[in-house]
Amino acid sequence: MSNEAPALVWFRQDLRLTDNPALAAAAASGRPLAFIYVLDDESPAQWRIGGAGRWWLHHSLSALSDAITKRGGRLLFRRGNAGKVLEQVVKEIGAAEIHWNRLYEPYAVKRDTALKALFSKLGCAAHSHNGALLFEPWEVETAAGGPFKVFTPFWRACRARGLPRTPVKLASTWRTAQSEVQSDALQSWALLPVRPNWAAGFKTRWTPGETGAKRALSAFVRSRIEKYANDRDLPAKDATSHLSPHLHWGEISPVQIYSVVDGLAGAEKFLSEIGWREFSHHLLFHFPTLPEAPWRSSFEKFGWRKDENAFRAWSSGQTGYPIVDAGMRELWATGYMHNRVRMITASFLIKHLLIDWRRGQDWFWDTLVDADLANNSASWQWVAGSGADASPYFRIFNPIVQGERYDPNGDYVRRWAPELRDLPAKYIHAPWTAPEQILADAKIALGVSYPRPVVDHAEARARALAAFQAL
Ligand code: FAD
C-alpha cells in the first residue's frame, strides 16, 4: 500500500484483467492502483441494464473483484450518476490519473467527453483507450472518407489491416492504493432476481467472468470452429461460440479472439461475425439514433399495429408457430437465443404481426444476457429492412420453411416446446396440418395444450407486403 496519488481504473464493459489497455496504461504509470465499477441506472434511464444483463453483471463483477483481491487490490462498488460518483471518488482518493476503455453508446460518448473536461479541471488526467473493438469507428473510412454503410467493403477494409495490435499482457505486479474509502456490498445492489428467480436455469449454461470467457473460446476452437460455417445456422447443434455475453461485458476482447483464431481452419466465417459486431458499433457511433429511429427515414411513417395480445403471444412463446415459440422460450429460460432463430422471431414480430421493431428490441434488451445496444439495434433494423445494408422488406421469413430447413428433425423445437415432443418431424413445424389421429397419438390438443397459429402465414405475408410496399 502507498500514500502516493493513485491511478484510478474505471471498469465499465471491460470486466477483465488481461488485454485491458486502460488497466495496462494505469499500471505502466507506476502509480498505486485503485479500481472502481459504478452502477449508473440514471444516465440514461431508458437504456439501464436489463434484467438478464443484471444477472450477468453480478456474477461478472464478483469474478473480477475476486481476481483483483487475489492480486492484493480492491474493486470499489459505487452506485449513482457516474459523473457525480467519480468526481467524489477522485477527490476522496486524490487520484492523479483516471483510465477507462471507450464505449460507443451515444449517451456514454457524451458523458465521457464531459467527464474528461471535468477531471482535467480537478487536476486528474483522464485517459481513454480502445479495449472493445478491433478498430475505432473513426479509423476505418470509405475511399471517399466517411463511414461505411455496407458490411462487405467495411469488413474487407478491416481485414486488410490485419491484427490491430498484439494483446496487452497483464502487469506481473502492481502496487495497490490505500483503500479506506467506502464501497457498497455487491449483494446490496440486488442485481439477481428473486421471487420469482427466473434466472434459475442460467447458471447451468453460463460461467460469467474472464475465466469463463477464455474457456468458451478454447472449447470453440478445440471442437467447433472447423465446422462453424456449415453448422452455425442449425439451432439444434451446439455449433457457435457463445461468446456474445463475454464480448458484451468485455470479459474477453476481440483482439484476443482474433489473435487466437486467425489462420485456423474455419476462422474466416467466424471472424466475419466478429466483423458484424464491429460494423454494428461503427454504425451506432456514426448514426447515434439507431436504437430509437429507423435508419431509413422512409420507415418513420410506417403504421405499426398496436396489438397487446399478439405481442404477449410472441414474447411468451405462444404464437402457434413452433420455431418461433421455441426461440422465445429458449430466450426466457437461458437469456440467449440462437442467431438464426433471432432472425426468425424478429421477422415474425415485425412482418407477421406488424408490431414495431422497437418493442422487440426492448424485449430482447431486457431478456438477453448479451443485450448490446449496437448489436441489438443494428440487428433489429436489419430484420425490419429499415437499417443500413438491411434485409429487403420483401424478404419475409416463412416460419414453417425456416423450421424445416434449419431444424429438419425438429430437435430444437422438441427441446424448447416439449408439448410437441411426440409429433413426427413431418408435422413438427406446422402442427395444425397434422391429421387428427396423429395429434391425438402425440397427446396434442390444438388450442389447449399448444396454441393454434395467431395469424395465418399466407394472409400475414400478403398484409405485410402490402404495408411495406405502401412505403
Ligand atoms: P457466434 O456465431 O459464435 O459469433 C461470434 C460473435 O460475433 C458473437 O459472439 C457476437 O459478438 C458477434 N456476432 C455474431 N453475429 C452477429 C450479428 N449478426 N451482429 C453483430 N454481432 C454478431 N448480438 C449481441 O451480441 N447482442 C444483442 O443484443 C444481439 N441482438 C440481436 C437481435 C437480433 C434481432 C438478431 C437477429 C441478432 C442479434 N444479435 C445480438 C446477433 C447474434 O444473434 C448474436 O451475437 C449471436 O447469436 C451470439 O451467439 P454466439 O456468440 O454463439 O455467436
The pLDDT-based confidence of 195 (bands split at 50, 70, 90) is confident
Asked if 357 is an active-site residue, the reply is yes
- DSSP structure string for 183-240: ---GGGG--S--SS-TTTTHHHH---SHHHHHHHHHHHHHHTGGGHHHHTT-TTS--S
Chain centroid offset of residue 439 CA: 38
pLDDT at residue 291 is higher than 80:
yes
How far apart CA 58 and CA 35 sit, in angstroms, is: 16
Residue 118: all three cell numbers together: 471535468
The pLDDT-based confidence of 3 (bands split at 50, 70, 90) is low
Q: Quick one: what percent of the chain has pLDDT higher than 90?
A: 93
Instruction: Read off the pLDDT of residues 174-188 as tens digits, 9 standing for 90 and up.
Output: 899 977 899 999 999
- DSSP structure string for 40-109: --STTGGG---HHHHHHHHHHHHHHHHHHHHTT--EEEEES-HHHHHHHHHHHHT-SEEEEE---SHHHH
Instruction: Read off the pLDDT of residues 372-406 as tens digits, 9 standing for 90 and up.
Output: 999 999 999 999 999 988 888 888 999 999 999 99
Helix locations, 296-419, DSSP H: 308-315, 322-334, 339-347, 357-367, 373-384, 399-406, 411-416
| 375 Cα: distance to centroid of ligand 1 (angstroms) | 7
Residue 366, Cβ density class (10 Å: 0-12 exposed, 13-18 middle, ≥19 buried): middle
How far apart CA 454 and CA 434 sit, in angstroms, is: 17
Instruction: Read off the pLDDT of residues 97-112 as tens digits, 9 standing for 90 and up.
Output: 999 999 999 999 999 9
Q: Which atom of ligand 1 is nearest to the CA of 368?
A: 28
How far apart CA 143 and CA 154 sit, in angstroms, is: 11
Sign of the CA dihedral 455, 456, 460, 461?
A: positive
Which of the following is catalytic: 100, 380, 382, 416? 380
Asked if 276 is an active-site residue, the reply is yes
How far apart CA 34 and CA 338 sit, in angstroms, is: 39
pLDDT at residue 191 is higher than 80:
yes
Which of the following is catalytic: 276, 398, 404, 432? 276
Q: What are phi and psi of 243, to 5 degrees?
A: -90, -10
Pocket around ligand 1 at a 6 A CB cut-off: 232, 240-244, 247-248, 273-274, 276-277, 280, 339, 342-343, 346, 364, 368, 370-372, 375-376, 379-380, 383
| 198 Cα: distance to centroid of ligand 1 (angstroms) | 23
Q: Which atom of ligand 1 is nearest to the CA of 279?
A: 20
Count of all residues that appear for the chain in the document: 471
Which of the following is catalytic: 4, 136, 268, 273? 273
| 244 Cα: distance to centroid of ligand 1 (angstroms) | 6
Residue 75: all three cell numbers together: 474493486
- pTM comes to 0.98
Angle, CA of 152, 235 and 468, to the nearest 5°? 55
Asked if 206 is an active-site residue, the reply is no
Instruction: Read off the pLDDT of residues 203-229 as tens digits, 9 standing for 90 and up.
Output: 999 999 999 999 999 999 999 999 999
Ligand 1 pocket test target in 217, 231, 336, 339 with most atoms within 8 Å of CB: 339
Instruction: Read off the pLDDT of residues 134-160 as tens digits, 9 standing for 90 and up.
Output: 999 999 999 999 999 999 999 999 999
**pLDDT value at position 392?**
83
Ramachandran category for residue 195: left, alpha or beta (phi over 0 → left; psi -120 to 50 → alpha): left
| 448 Cα: distance to centroid of ligand 1 (angstroms) | 35
Which of the following is catalytic: 10, 357, 382, 416? 357
Instruction: Read off the pLDDT of residues 249-288 as tens digits, 9 standing for 90 and up.
Output: 999 999 999 999 999 999 999 999 999 999 999 999 999 9
Rounded to an integer, the average pLDDT of 413-422 is 98
In a 13 Å sphere around the CA of 54, the CA atoms on its Cβ side amount to 21
The pLDDT-based confidence of 130 (bands split at 50, 70, 90) is very high
CA nearest 332: which of 364, 310, 355? 364
Q: What is the residue with the minimal CA distance to atom 32 of ligand 1?
A: 376
